[in-house]
Amino acid sequence: MVSRLLWQSSLRFMRQQYWQTALSFIAITLGVAIVVAVDLANESARMAFDWSVSGLDGQVSHQIVANSGVIDEALFVNLRKQLGITRSAPQLEARIQCLGESFSLLGIDPISELSLRRHAMAIGNEAMPQLMQQANGVILLRQTADRLGLKTADDFICQYRGKPLQLKLSSTLAQAPNPAFERLIITDIANAQHMLGRRGELDKIALELNDAELQAIKTWLPPRYRLIDTQRRHGGVSAMSQAFHHNLTAMSLLVLLVGGLLIYNAMTFSALRRQRVIGIYRALGLSRRELITLLLVESVVVAVPASFTGLALGLALSQYLLHLEIQTIDDLYFRLTVSGFVLSPASLLKGMILGVFTSVLATLSPAMNASRVAVINLQRRSATEQHWQVRYKKIAVIGAAGFVGLYLYEQLPTQGLTSAYIALILMVFSFCLLTPLALSLSCRILEKLVRPWSSISLRLAIRGVAAGISRSGIAVASLAVALATVMAMTIMIASFRFSVDTWLTQSLSGDVHISMPKPPQDKAFHTALIDDLRRLDEVGHISSRRSFRGETQAGRLRIVSIENRLLEHYPPLLAQVDSALQRYIQGQGIFISEPLAYHQHLQAGDLFSLYTQEGLKAFTVLAIFRDYSSSRGIVSVAPALLQKYWPAQAIDALTLRRSESSSYDELLTALKTELAKQPGDYPMVSIRTIRERSLAIFDRTFAITQVVDVLLLIVAFIGLLSALLALQLEKSSEYAIYRAIGMSRLQLAALILQQTCLLGFSAALLAMPLGFLLAQRLIHVINRRSFGWSMEQVFPVEILPQSLLLAIIAALLAAIYPIAKMWQKTIASALREE
Amino acid sequence: MQTLIPQINHIKSSTRFWCMSITIATALSLLYGGQQESPDQPTLSLAAVLGGEIAPGFKTADQVMALQFPLDHGPHPAYRNEWWYFSGNLVDEQGLHFAYMLSFFRIAILAPGTDLSQQSHWASRHIWMAHIALSDVANNRHLQQERFSRGQPGMAGVTIKPLTLWLDNWQVKASAEGFPWQISVNTADFSLQLQISPVKAMVLQGERGFSQKSPGHASYYYSYPRLQTSGTLKLQGKQHQLTGLSWFDREWSSSALGDDQVGWDWFALQLDDGNDLMYYQLRDTQGQAQASSQGKWMQTDGTNNTIRPKEIDLQVLRYWRDESGTNYPVQWSLSYKTRAKRWIITALIDDQLMHTAVKYWEGAVQITDPDSKKILGRGYLEMTGY
């Protein structure tokens, strides 16, 4: 039993050393907050993703989709009349923008929905029939309507492909049966076809089938359509988003690691600070168990409230992260219809466990040490350091073994993303273990280097670092990991951006992009229009694009065909068979994008099957091209092939290049004049704008990683600060002796500064190889496994001085408090502490 | 623009129309509202649904009009609602008794003149509903299904020349020369293929087909009280060859019943002696038969006589209680005083309750002599508002 007197002593210590208690508190709080924030945001985004998928399709067993992407509505009628499949409902979807937000316009048949009982239950007795009665009537979730400031019967304008849609809010839903409704605008299928200009077309037919019906449909369905098991499809979609979450999870694990180091550092320091007191306790007869209990309880007393504060902070922070994350998923993967925040108890628990357990663990090790060491030694700080001088070598051996293990692990034929992350974490961990040795060795080398000409104070600084390796090693490791992470992310993002930019420049040829009006006009019309445009003096070159979502052996993918494409505007081919381009143009095969090749394990020369109007047909993959437009992949087919297998596909866009004699503005004016004569709307956008928008989306995507980067740096900074403070404050008696033997305050301040700068500098130096290694892994392993994208690695040189600067600034800031403290103390009082 | 519900609320029509309007409106409110039907108070929803004004934009049944055939078998889009009703009592080769009821309902959600401006084939003015029920008397089993569809683009509808009436894969189709009509219904439980041909001429109900229900409220109404029926039933992998008699009822209108009318009991009786009787009793809030109740005595020789309530004495002999505790009269004594006739009408299966959006009891009955207990015929009984 620990006596009351001891508790009082313990409490008094905490109160006296309030700054240190505060630092531990801050360390735990921050560590917990960041882990919880990233985790909660991740969890919410994942749930949002699931809801978005299941909200629309998850409640049915099957779907019919068309190989061409468009279902003839007659199929639905026949399904009902010939097969009597009553549990079926048509669906038409489009993404529209309303009052600055993105929504999914969902056209449904309220009556058919009765048979499926999915949207019906929510929509209410009056609202549903109203849908069928109002030519532009839509239904919104009440809270969405409130947010947009809309009341029933209000008119509002939305944008669909740059064209305005006039909608009327016919009614609102009091509550969402499922959060997917938050970003849904529901309308009658007739309205949807009308507004989207898609008469006669459906996107999907949702089905709830029993076994008999399933068999009946399988034999009945024409080959240009495909029956999809909804559950299986969702598996595919979520695998897609999984990659993104893995990226964030990896970051949160790094945060966890750095946070853990930070807490460890703070708690170890707390124990070390009290070595003398502990020595006295032990001398007075306190048992080991009592001692360990005392220290552990102390750590829990700090850790529990700190963890709770961390949870609260993390909760607040996660809202912001979620916003960024949703935006990213929205931009990159999927029209996310939900943005709801989910308070996942698992995330909170994880944070709590991290805070309390890390603290306890971090205390356990010094507490055990303290209890093991002979009473007399405990009173001497040097004992610990002596112990450490032996131990860090052992630790370094483990670290080196870690790297060897990592190398061996890499040799295993594994493709998994999880294993890639395990390897990444292993690498960082091994690195941390090597840090104290690396630091100590570099100090020794540095000392030798500077000995001939340096001042005593510099040598004192260097030796101080090496002597306090138990402290400085951890500080340097945590700062180095944080810096390295930031560096790696920066290198990865820079490489990615560079590659995307290059790809955009190459694949976006020309000056103006024109979208063709919907519904598509007949072919003769298109030919005539292109001829008309070609006759304009301002037009130099026209290429036309047909693009649609088609069914393939790998699920639904975008299939693109560009007619009249100039040779230099083919995307970069990464692998190809002999005379690939020539064979492609002749329609002897297809090109597929890199992610598709990666995920499907396809190489040039392999076969890949597409559903054509003649049913499933295998095509030779002639080449694999670089493309970042889809992480699932796209298929490119030559016009000759398209003509044969998907003849119904109409041109959906034109890309025009100005003639050499005219300017961009002249081209635009000429086009506007010409197109005004044509029926329908032709939204035009400059290629430059597309490029800028694409890059803007790219930047937005990585906004969240940058935020996490900053958070990581803050945690590392606190870690460095606490380590340096500990180091410096421990030395106050040493400094007092220096002062006593004639060192001025200024000289002493210089010594402290030199020492902290040295630590910062070492951390930055050590971070560089690690950062580079991490970047390599992110680019060539993680990204490739997640997205199937390869990228050209660039090295933004400026990050070297940047991280150095960052480290030095952190070091300088950390020096301020010890210097100030040293400055205030008189020599006598400082000496007395000894 | 009015909503569907108020429009339905305004429907004033004949008895069977009543059923339709209740069913659709309540169906929507029940299904879409996701509420549980309140089985103990079905009249509550009925009262809530009915009543109100005649909706603008629709023609009203307000005068005697010469009905034309086969044209009037077909659609009447100028009127708000219409229905086609078939029922029949059939036996198979082994004498097993099967009865069926098939009904199609069209209900307008938009008045005929309203502009359907959408560039879409789905733009519809009508919703369709259909009910099928099969009574397997030997096994005391009652199978049923309900379907809904909008009119466009072609999942449900009616065309003439030849008459074709369908919802999904449930269909009634006339031959090129008129009768016989083919009935084809497929459900998960059974499939029914029947051929029907009248053995007795069509009967125009009310006054030459103009059926006045109460002052200002009427419909056009005619029946084929006796149709020779043959066909096949596939049930649980077994095929039955069926023969027997069917009944066909047809009605269209734009207006509904009075607010004080809460339910009705409708009898369609086919006597073995060749006479047929149709009688509906409208009940008010007190459960009393109203003066607007009416019927028709349709004799073997083709002469018909209108039946007034004072000529009829209806007594409930036995009730059947459903799971919710509602009592349905499943045995009646019907006296046709003018002709000094009295019959006992007994449900062939007590539970022929339609668990459709709104519950109603519709089922095959047997007519017996009260004294000799001899079977005198068969028929169908429809009861609502209990």
pLDDT tens for each residue of A813-827: 778 877 887 787 776
Q: Which residues of B touch A210 (CB under 8 A)?
A: 188
Q: Which residues of A touch B3 (CB under 8 A)?
A: 126, 129-130, 133
User: A114 and B5 in contact by Cβ < 8 A?
Assistant: no
B67 touches chain A (CB under 8 A): no
The whole-angstrom distance between residue B345's C-alpha and the CA centroid of its chain comes to: 18
- How many whole angstroms separate alpha carbon A559 and alpha carbon B309? 73
Claim to verify: residue A121 and residue A214 sit in the same structural domain = yes
Closest by Cβ to B1, choosing from A81, A84, A133:
A133
Q: Which residues of A touch B29 (CB under 8 A)?
A: 125
Mean pLDDT score across all residues of chain B: 81
Residue A435 forms part of a structural domain? no
Claim to verify: residue A269 and residue A361 sit in the same structural domain = yes
Task: For residue A146, give Cα distances in angstroms to A119, A131, A182, B33.
Answer: 21, 20, 11, 22
B106 touches chain A (CB under 8 A): no
Q: How many residues does chain B have?
A: 386
Segments making up each domain of chain B, as ranges: 4-384
Claim to verify: residue A634 and residue A535 sit in the same structural domain = yes
ipTM value, please give it: 0.83
Claim to verify: residue A621 and residue A660 sit in the same structural domain = yes
Helices (H) and strands (E) in chain B, counts: 3, 23
Are B300 and B275 contacting, i.e. CB atoms less than 8 angstroms apart?
yes
In this prediction, residue A275 has a pLDDT band, given cuts at 50, 70 and 90, of low
User: A197 and B5 in contact by Cβ < 8 A?
Assistant: no
Boundary-marking domain end, from A650, A681, A712: A681
> What is the tens place of the pLDDT at every residue in A668-721?
888 888 887 777 667 777 777 777 766 766 666 566 667 767 766 776 677 667
Mean pLDDT score across all residues of chain A: 77
What's the first-to-final CA gap in chain B, in angstroms?
34
Claim to verify: residue A78 and residue A125 sit in the same structural domain = yes
Q: Which residues of A touch B28 (CB under 8 A)?
A: 125, 128-129
A-to-B residue pairs, Cβ atoms closer than 8 angstroms: 118
> Which positions in chain A have a beta carbon within 8 angstroms of at least one beta carbon in chain B?
73-74, 76-77, 80-84, 86, 90, 109-112, 114-115, 117, 120-130, 132-135, 188-194, 197, 199-200, 210, 212
Under CATH, domain B4-384 is a member of which superfamily?
AttH-like domain (2.40.370.10)
Q: Which residues of A touch B119 (CB under 8 A)?
A: 193-194, 197, 199
Question: Among A502, A517, A516, A500, which Cα is nearest to A656's?
Answer: A516
Claim to verify: residue A525 and residue A664 sit in the same structural domain = yes
> What is the tens place of the pLDDT at every residue in A212-221?
888 888 888 8
> What is the tens place of the pLDDT at every residue in B53-66?
445 778 888 888 88
Claim to verify: residue A264 and residue A187 sit in the same structural domain = no
- The per-residue pLDDT for A622 is 92
Residue A186 forms part of a structural domain? yes
Interface test with A, best of B122, B172, B234 (most A CBs within 10 A): B122
- How many whole angstroms separate alpha carbon A342 and alpha carbon A352? 17
- How many whole angstroms separate alpha carbon A124 and alpha carbon A130? 10
Q: Which residues of A touch B4 (CB under 8 A)?
A: 126, 129-130, 132-133
Residue A432 forms part of a structural domain? no
Interface test with B, best of A73, A75, A76, A125 (most B CBs within 10 A): A125
Residue A636 forms part of a structural domain? yes
B5 touches chain A (CB under 8 A): yes
- The per-residue pLDDT for A388 is 63
- The per-residue pLDDT for B50 is 29
Claim to verify: residue A282 and residue A135 sit in the same structural domain = no
Which is more confidently placed, A396 or A341? A396
Interface test with B, best of A133, A202, A213, A220 (most B CBs within 10 A): A133
Calculate how close chain B gets to A77, using CA atoms only, in Å.
5
| Chain A nearest-CA residue for B116 | A135
Interface test with A, best of B116, B118, B127, B236 (most A CBs within 10 A): B118
Closest by Cβ to A81, choosing from B4, B109, B169:
B169
Residue A793 forms part of a structural domain? no
Are A758 and A461 contacting, i.e. CB atoms less than 8 angstroms apart?
yes
Boundary-marking domain end, from A681, A696, A714: A681
Which is more confidently placed, B85 or A372? B85
Pairing of strands A201-202, A62-66: unpaired
| Chain B nearest-CA residue for A191 | B118
Residue A566 sits at φ, ψ, to 5 deg, of -75, 150
> What is the tens place of the pLDDT at every residue in B328-368?
999 999 999 999 999 999 999 999 998 877 678 999 999 99
Calculate how close chain B gets to A178, using CA atoms only, in Å.
15
- The per-residue pLDDT for A37 is 80
Closest by Cβ to B123, choosing from A110, A111, A190:
A190
Boundary-marking domain end, from A223, A252, A278: A223
Q: Half-sphere exposure of B284 toward its Cβ, with a 13 Å CA cutoff? A: 10
Residue A791 forms part of a structural domain? no
Residue B382 sits at φ, ψ, to 5 deg, of -125, 130
What's the first-to-final CA gap in chain A, in angstroms?
31
User: B121 and A199 in contact by Cβ < 8 A?
Assistant: yes
- How many whole angstroms separate alpha carbon A72 and alpha carbon A86? 18
Q: Which residues are registered as beta bridge partners of A607? A: A620
- The per-residue pLDDT for A57 is 53
Q: Which are the contacts of B262, defined by CB distance < 8 A and separation ≥ 6?
A: B43, B46, B47, B283, B284, B285, B287, B385
From its phi and psi, is residue A648 left (phi > 0), alpha (psi between -120 and 50) or beta?
A: alpha
User: B32 and A124 in contact by Cβ < 8 A?
Assistant: yes
Closest by Cβ to B118, choosing from A109, A122, A135:
A135
Which is more confidently placed, B52 or A256? A256
- What average pLDDT does the segment A183-204 reach? 87
Closest by Cβ to A128, choosing from B32, B117, B122:
B32
- How many whole angstroms separate alpha carbon A703 and alpha carbon A779? 18
Q: Half-sphere exposure of B200 toward its Cβ, with a 13 Å CA cutoff? A: 27
Q: Which residues of A touch B123 (CB under 8 A)?
A: 190, 194
Residue B7 DSSP SS3: helix
Pairing of strands A225-229, B276-284: unpaired
Calculate how close chain B gets to A647, using CA atoms only, in Å.
24
Does A806 score more than 90 pLDDT? no
- The per-residue pLDDT for B10 is 30
> What is the tens place of the pLDDT at every residue in B167-226?
999 999 999 888 899 999 999 889 999 999 999 999 998 888 888 777 777 889 899 999
Q: Which residues of B touch A194 (CB under 8 A)?
A: 117-120, 123
Task: For residue A458, give Cα distances in angstroms to A385, A471, A820, B40, B104.
Answer: 21, 19, 20, 94, 99
Calculate how close chain A gets to B118, using CA atoms only, in Å.
5
- What average pLDDT does the segment A784-790 reach? 72
Q: Which residues of A touch B124 (CB under 8 A)?
A: 132, 190
B176 touches chain A (CB under 8 A): no
In this prediction, residue A413 has a pLDDT band, given cuts at 50, 70 and 90, of low
- The per-residue pLDDT for B103 is 93
- The per-residue pLDDT for A76 is 93
Structural domain harbouring A130: 69-223
Q: Which DSSP string do the residues of A396-424 spell out, in sequence order?
A: HHHHHHHHHHHHHHHHS----HHHHHHHH
B150 touches chain A (CB under 8 A): yes
Residue A368 sits at φ, ψ, to 5 deg, of -60, -45
Calculate how close chain A gets to B95, using CA atoms only, in Å.
31
Claim to verify: residue A533 and residue A571 sit in the same structural domain = yes
Compute chain B's Rg from CA coordinates.
20
Q: Which residues of A touch B186 (CB under 8 A)?
A: 84
> What is the tens place of the pLDDT at every residue in A485-524?
778 878 877 887 788 788 777 777 778 888 776 655 566 7
- The per-residue pLDDT for B36 is 32
Claim to verify: residue A216 and residue A290 sit in the same structural domain = no
Claim to verify: residue A615 and residue A663 sit in the same structural domain = yes
- What average pLDDT does the segment B145-174 reach? 89
Q: How many domains does chain A have?
A: 3
- What average pLDDT does the segment A317-335 reach? 61
Helices (H) and strands (E) in chain A, counts: 30, 21
Residue A691 forms part of a structural domain? no
User: B119 and A197 in contact by Cβ < 8 A?
Assistant: yes
Task: For residue A163, give Cα distances in angstroms to A120, A200, A522.
Answer: 30, 20, 21
Residue A200 forms part of a structural domain? yes
Interface test with B, best of A81, A166, A214 (most B CBs within 10 A): A81
Residue A719 parent element (H or E): helix A703-730
